[in-house]
Amino acid sequence: MNILIATVFPLPGGGIWSFVSNLQKSLIEVGHKVDILCGNKFNSRVEILGTNKVVDFMPFRHAVNEQLLMNCPGITKDSWVYRAEMNHYLFEQAVSNIDLRKYDIIHTQDVIAAASISRVKKTGTPLVTSVHGFLSGAIFHQIKPVNQWENSRIWSSFVLQYYSRLEQIGYESSDYIHTSSMWMRRIIETQFSIPSTKISTYTYGLDLTEFVPSKSRDRITEKPIILAVSRLVYLKGLEHLIDALSFLSKENDSWECWILGEGEMERTLKNRVNELGLQNKILFRGVKKNLKDILQRAEMVVLPSLQENQPFAVIEAQLMGVPVVVSNAGGLPEMVDNGKSGFIVDKGNSVELYKKIRLLLDNPSVRDQMSQYSLSYARSKWNINNTRKHTLQMYNKALIGKKSLK
């Protein structure tokens, strides 16, 4: 098959890239041709990676803006919706200038790409979508920290209604939908009334040959490392980790926490760390390319998210035999065998989080048991070959469905 994987998001980088790059490699290994279409970090063009095919947004900006203002008077009063609509239609206009007819199937990685490409692709080409997160929920968690409204008022706001409708269109535009968690599947079925027969649920996967933990776990520093791999945004719940570590510091001073990532809350989080006098204990290390080397030397990985689907940070930690402490948000509980490969705590509960971190820190034997269990557990759960098998099954269902309509 000739396959196009497409997203509005910039690649490489992020969790989508982990999924897309591993899937592309795996599909090519069994004889398929796979192109990747994506946006860029400046939100100024689309491109097909590894080729000279680039379409810039600039020639379309004026026309799209004029059409948008004509069809939706007053839209500029809400900058969130205006920017989203501009970006949506600029992406669609750019993709319409790429010849999509050669592809047997198009596999989008977000609902915006699905909604856009469904309007410009050839009628008979199947469109499937992998859903990597709850878009409306993510927008809720962007608004929440800067707005004092009640949750119900945020959910009923025009911005949230807009994103919910955009999400709905993306799901309805797809012939089949892939979710990696039952949590995300339930949202699509119940909140968006998408039939279960249209949804395939199977986990992400990685190339197991790239994860070979060393038998010795040499430390980078003299102190044990508590590791958090996360974007620095509100929905990742890092302020709860900082609070938990402030409790820990009063009883155990022999540790360091490394936070790996970037994001809009970096200054806020650093200020909180400074207020608590933990600036020598909690270190912001930015984005690191040698994550597996750091994982090899960490005592645990902590993800206290308020919303999450199936983060690769947990998958990679388990494949390297590192115990994890995660919140019970979203799809995280589906990833961890509680008490065996790690611990699950209530989201937003800093005290409970502190207790589990301390338990792991104070008990090397518990860490070692979890490490050994994680290795066997992860290798059976996160194999890219299983992901490829289920993806091809979804492709075949979509292809058969299109043929039956002819």
Query: Do 251 and 159 share a structural domain?
Result: no
Query: Do 212 and 191 share a structural domain?
Result: no
Query: Do 212 and 196 share a structural domain?
Result: no
Query: Do 162 and 27 share a structural domain?
Result: yes
Residues 6+ apart with CB under 8 A from 162: 80, 81, 84
DSSP, residue by residue, 198-246: GEEE----B-GGG----SS---SSSS-EEEEE--SSGGG-HHHHHHHHH
Which residues constitute the domain of residue 108? 2-205+384-405
Residue 13 has pLDDT above 70, yes or no: yes
Query: Do 395 and 367 share a structural domain?
Result: no
Query: Do 233 and 142 share a structural domain?
Result: no
Query: Do 295 and 153 share a structural domain?
Result: no
Query: Do 216 and 199 share a structural domain?
Result: no
User: Could you give the CA distance from residue 46 to residue 39 in angstroms, rounded to a whole number?
Assistant: 4
Neighbour order of strands in the sheet with 324-327: 282-284, 256-260, 225-229, 300-303, 324-327, 342-345
Strands 2-10 and 105-108, by their bridges, are parallel
Summarize pLDDT for 329-345 with one digit per residue, the tens.
999 999 999 999 999 99
CATH number at residue 349: 3.40.50.2000
Residue 404 has pLDDT above 60, yes or no: no
Query: Do 310 and 217 share a structural domain?
Result: yes
- pTM for the whole thing? 0.93
Query: Do 183 and 226 share a structural domain?
Result: no
Amino acid at 207: D
Residue range 150-161: mean pLDDT, rounded: 93
Query: Do 256 and 136 share a structural domain?
Result: no
Query: Do 255 and 200 share a structural domain?
Result: no
pLDDT top residue among 71 and 402? 71
User: Could you give the CA distance from residue 11 to residue 212 in angstroms, rounded to a whole number?
Assistant: 26
High-pLDDT (> 70) share of the chain, %: 97
Structural domain total, the chain:
2
Token representation of residue 172:
């309805």
Summarize pLDDT for 157-215 with one digit per residue, the tens.
999 999 999 999 999 999 999 999 999 999 999 999 999 999 999 999 999 999 988 76
pLDDT band, very low/low/confident/very high, at 114 (cuts 50, 70, 90): very high
pLDDT band, very low/low/confident/very high, at 405 (cuts 50, 70, 90): very low
Residue 406 has pLDDT above 50, yes or no: no
